[in-house]
Structure 1
Amino acid sequence: MTGSAGDPRLSLDVARQALAAQPFSRLLGTRLAAFEPGSATLELPLRDDFRQQHGHLHGGVLCYAADNAVTFAAGSVLGPAVLTGGVTISYLRPAWGRLLRARASVVHAGRRQAVCRCDLLVVAEDPAPDDGTLVAVAQGTVLVSGQPTQA
């Protein structure tokens, strides 16, 4: 993957196929809402079984969404053979709502790694009057794996 905007491998449809090839993402019902060079947005409809004992969204679900979103954003510029090298997340407030939106963007990319930021927002209403409430922020480092991806 060259990382140029005209590269057909960077299309939203191809990225959606990559997400659909992840059994865990299919299990959770994750969808790729936006994908372009340097950014990706994942959306996850929230279910009761994603909540913890106090009723709000479990932090593991938020971290999963951040991990996957930063990897898709980085892959949009590094190519498809990438792996997350690390993710840090800060939880800002309890997450309540019907939809989780993980919006990631590349902060810096070299030839072998990218650093990305991810804002995690929860949308409470349908239709949403705004972009949602910011509930967590994350940063991730994504590395070129050197291995071809498997379908």
Structure 2
Amino acid sequence: MGLTFRKLEVRDLREIESLITENVESVEPGLRIIDSCVLLGHARIDLVGLDSKDSLVLLALGFTANDEILLRVLDGYSWCLEYPDTIRRLYPKARTKVGRTERPPRVVFIAEATPDSFLRKLKQFSFPEVDCLRFLNLEVNGTAAVFFETV
């Protein structure tokens, strides 16, 4: 008997957040979620995590990667750079320094659709480490699964 696939509908952002949180090892081995729906300055960051090296990771989620999500992350990222002491207080397990040098957070965008225009704009920003993933929520032979693809 062959495999049967069916795309499952994702209805809201909180459902995307749950999919990511429950399947975080599929996003990146060693990544763990430590906070959600965080205000960094005036920017809402959907998920905050630590990677396998305990670096801070800002995760932005959406149905479509667009200008709003990009500007929101840029604002939150900039706030982290401007207030590193506050970040260290909020997330004491995060390695925010290497020697005397501040270590900026990594950025990860996760969306169902990632238009070429978003990727072009993303290249113009100077995030030292950024990843962009597309997700697909599936049912495989009656079992729910989520698939992440690097864009």
TM-score in terms of structure 1 length: 0.31
State which structure, 1 or 2, has the greater radius of gyration over its C-alpha atoms. Answer: 2
TM-score in terms of structure 2 length: 0.31
